[in-house]
Amino acid sequence: MSEHEFVKGLLGLIAFFVALFYGVMPFLILFTVRMAPRKGLESFDPDDPELLDQFTGQAKGARRRLEELGFETLTGIFAPSIASNVKAVLVTLIDRRTCDFATIVMAFVRDPATGNWKFHRQFLTCFTKYRDGSVVATRNAKDLSSFPPRPNSTTYSLPSVKSASRLIAIHQCAKRRHHGSEPILRHEVEFRGDLLEYFAVSSEEEMSDAIEAGYLRELQDGVYRPTLKGAFLMTWKELWPWKWLRQLRVKALEKQLLNELADELPSEA
């Protein structure tokens, strides 16, 4: 085989995989992905000894630090997942003094060989809801959402910040940048303390925003389906180079924010 033929074959192979991932995969998403409203939420006691060993023990460090900062642990929540081999476990906390809501989110993956759940990753989100409907959120998750930014919501992504206390301090600084109305604990104000109903409605509102942005179709037969636009955009956002460019942007914005807040933040713990 000549060098010219080798280069031609290599380029053809690259073109095939580009067409496969960028052209075929979105249609696979279009015809297979179904998102059910999160009605299957289940609460549990995060101090249950059996669950502590299997699931919530991973959150002990972050939870202890948040409680030292004045947060109160509310409950644990099992959240349904699109993938049957993935389990999302949440521990929810609130700070009544500031009306901040925190969730420690843990992802577990089922081992196909043993059927046991293995810890995959964990992240912390702190958010504040205001009476005018606006939201300020600060999170240290590495994963990026494939959905478009939600209206009236400002989210700061800080994947390099591992310390729970530092993330909360950054959140307090971030809140001061926004002149929203009175902060509220929405689950108490609107849902009489019913956290499961609050999370279910919040999820439906997120889906409604995705519908408004053209990513999802209206609820039909009990599930949400992606639109053609949504299937392509949600797929492409997870592929190179778009995912890489999105990650670079997050890192740049994180660095900018931390530089701007350097004089306001306490020493990293």
Helix (H) or strand (E) holding 73: strand 72-79
Q: Which amino acid is at 83?
A: A
Max CA distance (Å), the chain? 74
What are 35's two structure tokens? 């998102």
CA distances from 163 to 8, 22, 94, 125, 187 (A): 51, 37, 18, 12, 26
Enumerate residues 6+ apart whose C-beta is below 8 A from 206.
147, 150
Tens digits of pLDDT across the chain (269 residues)? 566 665 565 555 656 666 677 788 888 889 988 887 766 789 999 999 988 888 899 899 999 999 999 999 999 999 877 667 888 999 999 999 999 999 999 999 988 888 889 999 999 999 999 999 999 999 999 999 999 999 999 999 999 999 999 999 999 999 988 877 899 999 999 999 999 999 999 989 999 999 999 999 999 988 899 999 999 999 999 988 899 999 999 999 999 999 999 888 876 64
First to last CA, the chain: 60
Helical H segments across 55-163, by residue range? 60-68
Cis peptide before 183 (omega within 30 of 0): no
Predicted pLDDT of residue 209: 96
